[in-house]
Amino acid sequence: MQQEDMQKRMLIFFAVVSFLFISFTVISQFFFPENKKESPQSSQKQEINNQNIPIQTSGNFDLILTNERVNLDTSKNIKVKTKFGYIEFTPFGGRITSVYVEKYNHDMISDFSKKNKIFIGELITSNPNLTRILNFSEYTVSQNNKEITFKLEKENVSIEKTYTIQDDGVISIAVKTKGIENTSVALLSGVSLNSEGSFGHEGAIIKTDKDLIRIDKELKQPQIIRDNILWAGEENKYFLQIFAPKNGTNTVNVIPVAKDTTAVLVNVSPDFEGFIYSGAKLYSILGQITDYYKDLWKVDLDLRSSIDFGFFGILGKPLFLLLHFFYTYIPNWGVAIIILTVLIRILFFPLNHKSLKAMRKMADLAPEIEKLKKKYAKDPQKLQEEIMKLYAEAGANPMSGCLPILVQIPVFIALYNVLMVTVELKNAPFILWIKDLSDKDPYYILPILMGLSMIAQQWITPSSDKNQKMIMYIMAGVFTFMFMNFPAGLVLYWLTNNILGLLQSFIVNKTMKK
């Protein structure tokens, strides 16, 4: 029967949703645990290729991943306090050994980088001996407030490397050299960042004047990208570590240096200028930096494109902008999520209302349909005709309750992606026990309330099939279990949406009883 076919479709739909959510949770927790670290070496006395892929060379660039690098002394760091935290440099190579972002209690230089002394700001050449001189030698250091200069003169090589730290987190870099004109030169712009969970891309990111290229950190073989490249580096869902050379570059090398770890090399001339950004993917900050260099360099770097709003990004970005807009007036991201959820619910009120009314009509017709089934049990064709006649007389349509829900699915998925990748929610408190909306509820209060709201919603929502209603009760339990490890911000959205759904169901039931 048409009604039974519709119910089967709905059951299949919910079964698929359950399977996808359960699969996501199981795969995330058991196959990609967040705290699992790969040790690139069993001892600092051994070379770094132990438990790693062999030392790689790409575009004639050798990173010299040996104990010579590991045993370098980086204890003489120069620490520069910044508006967002601090930055540390080592006089050996004039490299950046730490970029600490206080707001997120996060160091942009990964554990792998610190353990193996592979740091952004390194100059890698096609001559290994020259690479050793440039990165393993001790430079003289001079500092003037937020400007720090490293100088080296050794074996007919002269280099001056100047960093200038800006308030927005940008580290301007200017390099002048002599004696390396006959070699290829690249700046190490990023090494795989510490993982932020299984959601979102982790690995190399390259921005050309036309495309955004992402390469997973599980890369097995070196890759060379040749194009009109604006910037390149590494990313995870929350943070970005890139170098943008003035006037761009035509070549970027992405090299696997360990299991699930890559390094990005940006080809440069012996003398060059540019900037390094190593920090959070804050939409406002990335926009400010983009606008600044659009005026200064006359090029659109579009740093905001590094924020991945997912498959339905065309919907996700406006939703995020609305969320950001609400936050500017009410500086609490939890409250902003609630307001956005209310707005979305109002927007879809007519569709939801139509769906609930259709389900109510179907529930009211259930006794009549059962009578018809008994009366025409031996005549399926006549039964179908009578059911369709009953639908027409009552103004009911089995599919009218399903279609409004399907229309809303892209919006829900888009908002889900926004809440999962928005760094603004990281370490952002809501109320009382919720200290971080990007992390799970430590006491599981929100997931339990969400589960109870789903049960209440099914209890009050009209249904023509008791079996289907029972399945939805079971689903509430399954979702409660799955959402226990989801970000509190996402659970807050789902809970708010369920409460609003309860109110709307109550209104529909009251209206149709009159």
CATH code of residue 148: 2.70.98.90
Taking only the tens place, the pLDDT of each residue in 289-347 is 999 999 999 999 999 999 998 888 888 999 999 999 999 999 999 999 999 999 988 88
* Residue 76 CB-density burial (10 A; 0-12 exposed, 13-18 middle, 19+ buried): exposed
Q: Chain centroid to CA 76: how far?
A: 35
Q: Are residues 346 and 227 in the same domain?
A: no
318-333 core/surface letters (b: 16 or more CB in 10 A; e: else): ebbebbbebbeeeebb
Show which of 281, 308, 335 is a domain's final residue. Answer: 308
> What are the start-end ranges of the H helices in 395-430?
403-421
DSSP codes of every residue in 361-392: HHHHHHHHHHHHHHHTTT-HHHHHHHHHHHHH
Q: Are residues 195 and 144 in the same domain?
A: yes
Helix 349-375, helix 333-347: angle, nearest 10: 50
pLDDT band at 402 (very low <50, low <70, confident <90, very high): low
Instruction: Read off the DSSP letter of residue 460.
Output: H
Taking only the tens place, the pLDDT of each residue in 202-217 is 999 999 999 999 999 9
Tally of structural domains, the chain: 2
Domain interval for residue 156: 66-308
> Looking at the domain assignment, is residue 2 inside a domain?
no
Which pLDDT belongs to residue 478? 83
Residues whose CB is less than 8 angstroms from the CB of residue 405 and which lie 6 or more positions away in sequence, other chains included? 355
Which pLDDT belongs to residue 5? 44
- Beta-carbon count within 10 A of 190 CB: 29
Q: Are residues 356 and 237 in the same domain?
A: no
Q: Are residues 391 and 370 in the same domain?
A: yes
Query: Quick one: average pLDDT of 400-406?
Result: 61
Phi-psi category of residue 97: left, alpha or beta, with phi > 0 → left and psi -120 to 50 → alpha? alpha
Q: Are residues 286 and 391 in the same domain?
A: no
What string of H, E and C letters represents the secondary structure of 41-107?
CCCCCCCCCCCCCCCCEECCEECCCCHHHHCCCCCCCEEEECCCEEEEEECECCEEEEEEEHHHCEE
* Phi, psi of 42, rounded to the nearest 5 degrees: -90, -20
* Phi, psi of 432, rounded to the nearest 5 degrees: 45, -105
> Looking at the domain assignment, is residue 29 inside a domain?
no
Q: Are residues 250 and 393 in the same domain?
A: no
How are beta strands 261-268 and 249-258 bridged, if at all? antiparallel
Which pLDDT belongs to residue 506? 77
- Rounded Cα distance between 364 and 217, Å, is 56
How are beta strands 212-216 and 203-208 bridged, if at all? antiparallel
- Rounded Cα distance between 433 and 492, Å, is 13
Show which of 274, 308, 342 is a domain's final residue. Answer: 308
Q: Identify the top-confidence range among 19-23, 33-37, 222-226, 467-471.
A: 222-226
Q: Are residues 86 and 162 in the same domain?
A: yes
Taking only the tens place, the pLDDT of each residue in 133-166 is 999 999 999 999 899 999 999 999 999 999 999 9
> Looking at the domain assignment, is residue 407 inside a domain?
yes
Show which of 266, 285, 308 is a domain's final residue. Answer: 308
Q: Are residues 293 and 337 in the same domain?
A: no
Q: Are residues 146 and 251 in the same domain?
A: yes
CA separation (Å) from 275 to 99, 207, 243, 439? 14, 15, 6, 32
Answering whether pTM is above 0.85, one says: no
